[in-house]
Structures are given as C-alpha cells and as structure tokens.
Structure 1
Amino acid sequence: MMSRTKVLPYLIENRFHVFARNKECLNFIKLQRYSYHGSEGDIQYIQNSVVPTMHFQDSLPRLPIPELDKTCERYITALMPITPSERLQNTIKIVEKFKCEEGKELQEELKASNSRNKHTSYISGPWFDMYLKSRSPLVLNFNPFLAFKDDPKKEFNTQLIKATNMLLSSLRFMKSLRAEILEPEVYHLNPEKSDTPFFRKLMRLMPRKFAWYGAYLFKAFPLDMSQFNNLFNSTRIPRVGKDEIQVFPEARHVIVLRNGHFYTFDVLDGDGNIMPPAYIFSLMSYILTDSCPPPSHPISYLTTENRDTWAEARNHLEKLGNAEQLKLIDSAIFVLSLDDESLQEDLVKSAHHMLHGPAYNRWFDKSFTLIITKDGKAAINFEHAWGDGVAVLRYFNEIYSDSIKNHFVRPKTVPANIDASHRVRRLDFVLDEAIQSSVQNARDKLAQQTNNLQFNILQYSQMNRESIKQNKLSPDSVAQLGLQMAYYKINGNFVATYESCSTSAFKHGRTETVRPVTKATKRCVEEFHKSNPATSAEMRALLKECTKVHNQLTKEAAMGQGFDRHLFGLRYMAEKHNHKLPALYQDPVYLEANHFILSTSTLFGPAFSGGGFAPVVPDGFGIGYGFLEDTMGFLVSSYSPYRNGEEFVNALKESFDQIHKVLEKS
C-alpha cells in the first residue's frame, strides 16, 4: 500500500482537477447528504448519519512540507508578471542565497518540528498565532459576512419567524455534530459510486485509522473537520499581546442582542434537549416587544477596538463587577442579533450593515453572529481565527436548507403559555467614566473607518457558470482574468493578487494562496488592450491557457504545494528560534508581493445571496464574488480616497464584455 504522503499528491494530481477553494468549497462538496430530516415533531437532530461525523479524522493525511527548491522556484515565477526585470534580478540573487544558506537550516527545523507534532499540520499552530497575535481590530480587518437567500415562502421571512426557525435549525445542527450523527465532509469524485447507502454502511465498519484509505478506494476524499469543534459555544478572548480562543461546551444558553441590550435564555433543557418551538417562539417574541431604551454606552463597541485596548478595557470591566455577564456572552452557543433596521433590496446598504454595523448590536469576538433584520434579511458575521470556510459554509447551507424545509414555527403559531419575563434575563453592566470614555472612543474610531469604506456591485448576466464551462474554460479563471483586466484598464500595471484555497484534504489544513496573476494572464490582458488585438481564435487560445495555468496553481495549492504558507512557516521558525531575519523577508519585492492590492474570495451555494469583506490594505480592493443562478456577482470594497470602487466596477463590466465578445464567436 502506498504511504499517505505519497497517496494524496498522487490522487490530487490525477483525480482532483480543481479542488475546493477556501470560500468556494461548495462547488465541489455535494449538498445532497445522506441524512434524515425528521418530522416536525422531532426537533432534536438535523441529520442521522450512518457514518460518525469524525470517523475519518484519525486517518487523514498530513499536510506536506514542500521542497525548498520548488517553493523558491514558484515564488520567483509568481513575481515575474508583477516585478520589473531589473528588480527581479536582485531578488533572484537573494532567493538563491536563501535557498542555499538560511532557508536550508530553517527547512530542517521546520521538518523536525513537524515530526515532533504528528497530531497536527506544520501550519496550524503558526496560523493560529498569526491571527491571535494581531492587534488590529476584528471588524473590517478579519470578520467577513455571508448573506442568506430569502425563504421561498414569503410569509416565513418575518423577523420573529425566521429568527426562531434559524435558531432551532442551528441547535439541530449543533446537536447532530456533538452526537456524531452529522454527515462527514467528503468530496465525492464519483458520486454515483460513493455517495450511496452502501458506501456509508461499508465505511462505518472500517476501523477509524484506516477509514481514509477505504474512502479513497471509492474515489471519495474526506476533509478535515477539526474546526467544527470551535463553531459553537466559542469565542475569542482579548488578551494583551495575544488573544485566546475559549470553548464552553456545557453551556445551554444563547445571547440575543437587540437595540444594544443583551438577553439570555436557555435553549436546551437539563438533559440537553432542545426546548419546544412554541417556548422559544414566546421568548423571542418577548425580546422583540421589550421597550427598554438603548444603553447610552453600549459595550459592544469595545469589540471593534485594537485588541490590546479592548483587553485592557475588558480587565477593567471585570474589576467593576461584570465578570459574570461577560462569561455568559463568552459561553453562549452563539449570538443572535435582532436588528431594528430594514434593508429591503438595497445591496450596498446590506453589505455595510452585515459587515460592520450596527456595532452596538454585535459582539464581533464570538465565533459567529446570526443576524436577522426587521424585514427578515439574514446573514452571518464570523470571527476568522478559529476556522475557515469549510465549517462556516457547511453550517450556513445546512441551517438554510433545514429552516426553509422544516418550519417549526409558522405565522399561525401560538406562543407557549408562559411568563417569558421570568425566563429571559437582560444583562446589566456596571460602567464608570473610564469605560464610558472607552466606548465613545471606539464608536468614534469605527465611524471614521466606516465612513471611508465604499461598496460597489456588479451583477453581470451576459456570462454565467454554465456558459463559461461550455467554452471549456474555468469560471473562476475567467472571473480572475476579468479582475486583472479591470485593474490594468485603470492603472496600466499588474499587482499582487490573493485568492484563498482550502487545504482541508489534510489533517488540520488551513488555507493556501493562489496567485492569479501569471504570465498567461498578463499576455492575455495585454493582448485585449492592444489597438489591433489578435484574432478571436488566438484570443480563445489565450483564454484557455489562462484556465490551464490557473487550474494548475489551484491543484498545487490544494495539494499543499503552494509557496506562501511554506515561506510563512520558515519565517515562523526563524522568529521562534531567534535567528536573524533572512534577507528574503526584508526584500522590498517580498513586501510588495505580500501587499495584496486585490484580495479576492469566491463563494457558491444554494443558500448564498452575497458576501464580502473589507480590503486587506488601505489602497486595495476587497472582492467577494460568486455565481448566482444566471449571473456573475461581484461585491467590491475600497477605501476613499485611495481607490474608486465605481470606476473599478465599470472597468470590470467592460472587461467581461470583451471576454464575452470573444466567446460569442466561438
């Protein structure tokens, strides 16, 4: 039998044509789960999987450490389209020295560390540290949002009904996960053979330490699910210097935020069973009718602060006698925000609302916040340190599907005959002048930041996912090419571009970077902008070359063979062992290559209506994009006065018009 380290690169190279990108994994992970959705009388579980949820976890392959030579080669290749030749020559010399000297030593240290920690991946610990040591505020810098589609049945899109049903579906998902009856995450290359009852029954009989190999024989590839343990009852605690993630699995309550107030009540009984829908419906109705005026200094604003500033303020809050209240927020299953604003169909207003506000009605430290507006629009805003897209998107899609299929509360539901005021607790906080001043400072800083944040939207219907595939092109490569064309139209050059890719095929995999700017995209973009461009046949050939190169980069990244995380791990070793920082990391070219002007992420799924994030650098663009039914959708964020988002979106439309014109002639 081939070893695990040899099997996975083999199967990805020969079987996975384009594996799941971090925020696009639903392109590949089938949503048709072998699961049980009970009758309306059975509310405890969302699924009843034959195969235990974590059945494959012990046998997952480990994330490989790339060869140093290959990493250096890939790094230089990525620099070629964005770096002037005279500067590149100097960088090549720096890289050669690194490869033969400091890099060689750091590679051995990284391998030795990896050998001592066989239970995890070489990137997991350093990646957690990277997030938790950052002192930047979570809002705008890390937390993204994902917006749900409306319930197809309009009468279920009221705030009270939707919030109650999504809360119940969330609890059903959580209980199935903890009972190990939630379907494992598996990529089925041949669903007809492996996405079947027979496969599942056979896998259940397979010992856990061999289960991955059994799935491989069916061309089914289990994914890492370690991050799911941080999905519920989890929070990021601010600490001076480095935050920490804490999980409180025994807690049975949720936190509901409304009008800046925190309400809490138990949603599980003493035996861990979900409380009756009419009971939860009554408590939610009570909260929505509470007429208590908003607090003058909502402490939620503190979660938008610099992490050291927030850590010090939190310590002061606890000394004032608020430790119990903070513990209730930290340990809650999750936070549900009931907003008084109505968004209607205003997509730009919705993006601002779901990403950063109203901050008085958010707690950005929680693993995720489920947001329901007054007119029934729903989204999640999630903290990124604990995990990536695989866990979040699985939860996102499952609760949408369950909440629109199993309407446990309806327009005619009668609230339970209980005194809700004795079961719902509103948290009160003791504040002094110092905390009030801290809250006001946080509010002012956030207003200044968000006032400069712009969102612009493109919904392009001339091309869609299927029409692009019919031309034997990758939809993602075409989307990325359009982004490069748009930037080139405005600025006349190419810049560092980031696209995330999941490495969840490996134990404790996180993400890897795909660098979409290649020599192929550069040639294609420049040809499109010539006054006398090539023929349509020649342009189609250039488009196909872009897809070929992009797919290869994506395969390498999914195999753990990108260069970004490897270089990050080597740098981490240098800092950990107090080595002098190698010249490679001080090279201005390296710094520019990691200053991502275009930060991009793609999403696709039946529950998804939009999503986005802020730019990762002040002079950049944050671009969330996806394929919705018959359109390509792009949500572009930017900061004024650095960038003009409207100009970029107009250039993006022109770019897709040019690509579409070529494909029309094929």
Structure 2
Amino acid sequence: MAEAHQAVAFQFTITPEGIDLQLSYQALNQIYLSGLRSWKKRVSRMRNSVIKGVYPASPSSWLFVVIATLVTMYMHSDPSMGLIAKIQQHLPLRYTDKHTHFFRDQKFVLPSLVSLVFSTLLWLSLILALRFCLKLLLSYHQWMFERHGQISNTTKVWVTLVRLFSSRKPLLYSYQTSLPHLPVPAIKDTLSRYLESVRPLLSDVEFKQMTELASQFESTLGNRLQRYLKLKALWATNYVSDWWEEYVYLRSRSPIMVNSNYYGMDFLYVTPTPLQAARAGNTITALLLYRRKVNREELKPVGPHIFLRVPGTVIPLCAAQCERMFNTTRTPGAETDVLQHWQDSEFVAVYHNGRYFRLWVYCAGRLLSPREIEYQIQRILDDSSPPQPGEEKLGALTAGDRIPWSQMRKQYFTSGVNKRSLDVIEKAAFFVTLDDEEQGMRGEDPVKNLDCYAKSLLHGKCYDRWFDKSFSIVIYKNGKNGLNAEHSWADAPTVAHLWEYTLATDAFQLGYTEDGHCKGQVDRSLPHPQRLVWDIPSEAQVQRSLAVAQALADDVDCHVFPFRDFGKGRIKKLRISPDAFIQISLQLAYYRDRGGFCLTYEASMTRLFREGRTETVRSCSNESCDFVKALEGGEQCRRLFQLASEKHQNLYRLAMTGAGIDRHLFCLYVVSKYLGVESSFLKQVLSEPWRLSTSQTPVQQMELFDLKNHPDFISLGGGFGPVADDGYGVSYIIVGEDMINFHVSSKYSCSETDSHRFGAQIIKAIQDIMTLLSVDSKTSSSSKSTAQPETKKLL
C-alpha cells in the first residue's frame, strides 16, 4: 500500500510567490504504518534468529552461566582452571599501581569483564556440544524398524534423551543445524538392492546381463564415482538436493504444466459459500495467515505421520522447503531456469477474464479483513474493461516449452511497462485465478464432473494460470477452489500442509455470514485494484506456446474417485500398513490391466535429514509379484501378502533413512557427466521408464478437521500427470477411518492405458484383497475358538 501512495504523499508547485507545498497526511500516515510493519518484521526475524541460533539452549541460559561463573569466582574458586587469567593477560587494559584512581577501579571491573568473556565462550561451547549430541541422537533410525509393542532398550533410552533435548518449544527452523546429513550408501549395497528390485521385471537372460553390467560398474568406474560423491557429501549440506532440483526440475526444457506441476482440490461434498468473491476473500486471508506463521516460525517442525513407532516423541523434519513457499517464482532461462525468492510482498496477482491485476492485501501496515479482500475481489469481477492486445493468453508462455518463453522474456520483458507488470506477478505473494467456470462433484454426472475438475486444476485453459509461480490459487464461479503448485521449490507434503491449513481456516475459523459473505468490516475508501499494463508487439510466440500446451492438456485423461467401502480403520484391524495394502493393490490392478508388472515409483520423503526431499520406493518387489501371481492362480495366499506387506514397509523405511537406490544412482550419474565418462550401466538404469508412478498425499493436521461433527468436510487430496507416455500416475489420500480418494492419470494417445479402466481395476483389487484377508482372518479366529474347548477337555 505504501507504493500506491508515495506518488501522492506530497505535491508542490512553483508560483511567483514561491513554492506551494501540499502534504497528504493520510498518505504519509499509511507510508509510516507500512514502514513500521516492516521494522516489526525485521525485529521479529532478528529475535527468532537468536532463539533458533542457540537451540537447544535458550538465550536466558547465558545469564545463568554468567551468574554461576561470577558466584564461583566470588567464592575464590577458579571454574576456568586458569583460562580466565590467560584471557586477562591478553586484554589491552591491565591494572597497575601506577595508574590513577580510575584504573584502580579496574581491579574489580576487569576480572568481571574477563569472567563475562569466559562465560560467553563457555556458553557457546555448551551450545555446540548440545547441538552435536542432538545431531547424534537424530542420526539414530533403528526405532523405525522395530515392531509395534517390541521397542528395544536402546530405543527406550534414545526416546528419553530426545525428549530431554527437545524439552524447549522449538521454532520452525530450530532443528535445522541439528539435523544429520544424508549419508551416502555403500555402492555395493545400492547395486544389490537395485538388482533385487528389477529381478521380477527381467527374464533370466536379461537379469544375467544386468548383473554382469552392475558387477563391471562396481569394479571399474563405480568406486571412482563414489569417492567424488563422498567428497561432495562432506562439503555439501545434502549431496542430492541441489542436483535433484537443478537437473530433474530446473534444467528440463519441456513444459512444466502437466509434466511437473501438480494440483490440490477443495472439499469433496461441501462448498462453504457459493459466492466467488467471498471464497476468494477467505482463501487469500487463510494463505496470508499461514505466511505469517511461517515468517514468525510458529509452525511445528514435525509431522504426525513421522510418529511411526514412538508416539509422543518429537521427531523433527527438515523445514527448509517452507522458506520459498511465498513470494517465489520460477524464471525461464536458455539452459536452466532459476528460482527467485523475495523476502516479502504486500500484494497478490489476480487474473480474471483475460486481465491481470495487482491486489494490495495490506493497508496502513495491517492485513485487510476477509470482507475487505472480498470487496476488492468483487471490484475485479465487476470490472468490464476488455483485455489489452496480447494480454488474455499471455500466461500460455509459462505453459509451453521453456526456451521460447526464455527468449520472449529476454526480448520483450526486460524494460518498460512489460517488465513492471511482470515484476508484479513474479514478486506477488502468490497468484490467484478467478475462473469463469463451475467445478466440483455436482450435477447429474458427478463422476465426469470430478474428472473435469481435476483437469481444470491441472492445466485449466493453458493460459489462465501462471504456472511459474510457487503456487496458484483457483477460485471458481460457484465458490469451489483449488490449487496448482510448481514442483521445483518443494514437494507435495509441504504444499499439502499449507492447503490443509487453508481449507480448515477458511471453513472453521474465518467462516461466513448467513448470506455467504465474509465476516468483518469494510473500508470502502480502499483504492481500486491496479490493472497491469502490457505492450505485446507480437502474439505469434504466445500462440505457439498455447498450441504446445493445448496439445499436452488435451492428451491427459484424468479420473478422480472416492472409495468408501472401507478405509484405514478396517485395514489396521488386520494389523497391516494401509500404505502397503494400497501399493500391493495397485500391483494387482496393474497386472490385471496390462498383463504384467512394471517398474513402480512411490515417493518417500527424506526430511529426517537436512535439506532432504524425496527418495523412490520401488514398490514392485519379488514378494508383491509372488502374491499377485498366487492370487490370480486361485491360491489362498495370506502368508504371501504378509511377506509382501513387510517387504514394502522395509523398503519404505530404508528410503526414509537414506538407504534408497535411485537418488544414489542419480548422483553417481551426475558425477560421471561432470567427469566426462560414460557408464552403460548407469545409462540403462536412468533410462528405465516408470510406467506406474504413485504418491500418497499425507494428512498431517487432522486436529484441524472435526470429522465427527462435520463428516462432509473431507478433502479430495490432489494429483499429477502421468510420468510415462504409456503409464499411469496414481495419487491417493487416506482420509479418516473409512475413506480413500484416488486420482488416476494417463494419456489418451496411448491405446494401452485408460484411467477409468484402471480406476475400476483398483477398486476391484482393493475389494478382492480385503475379501481374502477377511476370510483368512475369520478362519483363523474360528479355529482358535474351536481349539479352546478341546484344550479345556484335555485339561
């Protein structure tokens, strides 16, 4: 708001009588309040920097150490074992009898000053020691591999120590310097696990050839590459993350729409208000409240899903991905894109009906109320001005190939009005699209409408989203909303945490009036949202980018469906991991759909380590394949399912604890490229297609949703496009005890895939496996009950 008023804060004119100076006190007051807000944020950041800088100690502990040292010296004891005397010798001022009365006073002042220096050094040393001990504790991951109810004595001691070191309430980034670094697995172990993962996918001849390739790689080039990788691990915070971000995401020259970006959906059954402007008002407010929590570091650096084996113990996760959540954009380059992040932004960028607007969300240093944001959004909706030439489909540049967008940006957006308008979009807190369509599970064909809803969030019209922003919010005409997120800056769990908070805050905390409007008062003197001005001399490249994006969007086949026959409640009663149950069901569904098995990607997080992102769980294992074949052969194979489930859980834990396969091999491949050497083994490994790419959207804040009193407020989760041209992308979210939502994607251009057909196969596979396990469970229970009377008779 300050920028909008700086031009009119004061005016002056030169007259024959002199200079006539006119001040706008209202504008000056708003500039003052806005500046005051900025200084408050700086002070808050400085305070948080001190608090997290000394964690797990506290700033007040310094005073305790100083007082303890002074008291000890007063009692004529030297706690420093001679160190204080040595420090005193090196200070520039020393007491001598020849000096004046002022220096004789130093006989008492100087020892106190030296004690202060010693106490500070001692305090800093204790902090480093505590932090080192905490890092050692957090490097212990054996607790994850222990069975429920069978916790070892080592883990019990570890739990006690972790609770002791984490007794202080941490800020969001308090644990960052105490998190362990991601370890580099032994190359022999990685190759062994890799060969095991591809065994069910290869014939005997192919597997023998692959084994020979792996053995040759290990004995020749592999150890050399491993040495360089270990050297990087010693130097870098995380040996994977920077290369993963650059080479997997930022260096990709193909469209990020569909191929990289993903989406999140609104509530399934409920739309809190049918008013588009009101839903936008609450959604924008909730997002800005979350940003405030991030800036103040008020979020907990943990997730409930990590309390796998030690309930009640704080196991911190890396929070580095939160740093670039807001005020961030991906800018195109000729060879690689760049992520740009700004410290703060007091506005959002809004797109409606082919026009771009800047909407200030702060006024006089305060956040606008939800009702005021609704009022401003309604002004945009009521604005009937037409788009400028080239403005309406400008966003298609972010949806097409990256090189043409880079060239266009360099040619037309480096100066003048185009640069100023582009700066507004890129520096905005986030991007908002006021869509002119209605979406959601509605009408006479809710299944088809859900699929359209997914496609709309994934790509829209290919020009009405700004796909380069860290995330874009979509508000539909009927009040439904959704989210489209860029992938390079963070992974889905980070965005899911943000979206959970947004939906819950919108519906349960901010709320709406009886007529559907936002709550709060309105200052009707607020200046109008600012139209962005463009000068686009040629639309040819915009049209070419739109054509590329449209062809990509038209090829995506999305299918979204809720499964309500049962959920994790019934699965866990069988003492089975819900995730393992679903992943094995997906293997069965794919086998039935395609008549075989394929390389399967399941995303797992590595945020137990500093700057950790993801690792691949290769869900297609020997055990899961044996179970599927046995089930299709008509066998009763509960034991095989149990083995497959345990194998999957073990693979997931290995991935989480830094013993995965794919990130290690990926980094070895990058090192080989830097050294200019070729490896036929690595080349073949990294060229293998992931025909089944899967991901679970974790529910991290169930305490925000009261499903008992508000059972209809259930999130649909989110999804993504297919990774392989002839494969499927499957995302699922386990909601509450009795529901699982699935998102399936594939490509129409592939005659062998069909998202609806695969969705039906998933449902049938889940039902068949549950029937098998339930029958075996009942048989086991009845045999136990019949055995008891016989035992009594024998007694």
Shorter-chain TM-score above 0.5: yes
- Asked whether 1:92 is paired with 2:225, we answer no
Counterpart of 1:250 in 2: which secondary structure? coil
Q: Could you say if the C-alpha distance between residues 267 and 7 of structure 1 is closer, same or farther in structure 2, counting changes exceeding 3 Å?
A: closer
Q: Are 2:279 and 1:162 aligned?
A: yes
The separation in 2 between residues aligned to 1:386 and 1:233, in whole angstroms, is: 12
Whether 1:148 and 2:245 are equivalent positions in the alignment is no
* Shift, 1:192, TM fit: 13
SS at match of 1:495: coil
Distance in 2 between the 1:403 and 1:552 partners?
39
Q: How far did 1:430 drift?
A: 0.6
Residues 252-271 of structure 1: pairs in structure 2 closer than 5 A: 252-269=346-363, 271=365
Q: Which residue of 1 aligns with 2:368?
A: 275
- Inter-partner Cα distance in structure 2 for 1:192 and 1:97: 40
Relative contact order (alpha carbons < 8 A, sep ≥ 6): 1 or 2 greater?
A: 1
Q: Confirm or deny: 8 A CA contact 1:259 1:360 kept in the other structure.
A: no
Most deviating of 654-663 and 170-179: 654-663
Q: Do 1:256 and 1:336's aligned partners in 2 also have CA atoms closer than 8 Å?
A: yes
Matched AA of 1:622: G
Tell me the TM-score normalised to structure 1 length: 0.85
Whether 1:114 aligns to 2:221 is no
Task: Give yes or no for contact 2:265–2:483 (8 Å, CA) kept in 1.
Answer: yes
Q: Distance in 1 between matches of 2:528 and 2:563?
A: 49
Q: Which amino acid aligns with 1:313?
A: M
Alpha-carbon offset, residue 408 of structure 1:
6.3
Query: 1:101 Cα shift?
Result: 1.7
1:663 corresponds to which residue? 773
1:177 equivalenced with 2:308 (yes/no): no
Query: Which runs of 5 or more residues in structure 1 are unaligned?
Result: 18-48, 196-218
- Residues 1:284 and 2:377 are matched in the alignment: yes
- C-alpha deviation, 1:555, in angstroms: 0.3
Question: Structure 2 vs 1, CA of residues 15 and 274 (structure 1 numbering), >3 Å: closer, same or farther?
Answer: farther
1:169 and 1:399 in contact (8 A); partners too: yes
Displacement of 1:135 in angstroms is 0.6
Which of 153, 171, 177 aligns to 1:58? It is: 177
Q: CA deviation at 1:180?
A: 2.2
Aligned identity (percent) is 28
Deviation at 1:624, TM superposition (A): 1.2
Q: What are the within-5 Å matches in structure 2 for residues 458-469 of structure 1?
A: 458-469=561-572
Question: Which residue identity lines up with residue 84 of structure 1 in the other structure?
Answer: S
| Higher deviation after alignment, 230-239 or 398-407 | 398-407
Checking the alignment, whether the CA contact within 8 Å between 2:349 and 2:356 is kept in structure 1 is yes
Alpha-carbon deviation of 1:15?
5.7
Alpha-carbon offset, residue 376 of structure 1: 1.4
Q: Is the contact made by 1:224 and 1:508 (CA closer than 8 Å) also made in structure 2?
A: yes
Is 1:615 equivalent to 2:722 in the alignment? yes
CA deviation profile, 1:503-525 (whole Å, cap 9, x unmatched): 01110001000001001111111
Does 2:557 correspond to 1:454?
yes
Structure-2 residue corresponding to 1:338: 434
Q: For the Cα contact (< 8 Å) 2:716–2:741, is it kept in 1?
A: no
Q: Deviations over 1:325-380 (max 9, x none)?
A: 11111100011111110014120110110000033221000000111111111211
Instruction: Give runs of aligned pairs for residues 99-498 of structure 1, distance below 5 A.
Output: 99-117=218-236, 120-130=237-247, 131-149=249-267, 156-187=273-304, 219-269=313-363, 271=365, 273-294=366-387, 297=390, 298-319=393-414, 321=416, 322-345=418-441, 346-407=449-510, 410=513, 411=516, 413=519, 416-419=522-525, 422-433=527-538, 436-498=539-601
TM-score by length of structure 2 reads: 0.71
Q: Distance in 1 between matches of 2:134 and 2:469?
A: 40
Unaligned runs of 5+ in 2: 1-131, 149-167, 442-448, 703-713, 778-795
Distance 1:6 1:574 in 2: 34
Equivalent residue for 1:67, pick from 186, 189, 195: 186
In the TM superposition, residue 650 of structure 1 has moved relative to its aligned partner by: 2.7
1:654 aligns with 2:764: yes
3-state SS, counterpart of residue 170 of structure 1:
helix
Q: CA deviation at 1:268?
A: 2.4
Q: Bigger CA drift: 162-171 or 405-414? A: 405-414
The aligned counterpart of 1:519 is 622
Q: Secondary structure at the match of 1:641?
A: coil
Shift of 1:417: 4.3
* Contact 2:401–2:548 (8 Å) recurs in 1: no
Contact 2:226 2:668 in 1 (8 A): yes
Aligned residues of 2:185 and 2:659 also touching (Cα < 8 A): yes
C-alpha RMSD of matched pairs (Å): 2.4
**8 Å contact kept, 2:281–2:372:** no
Could you say which residue in structure 1 is the equivalent of 2:612?
A: 509
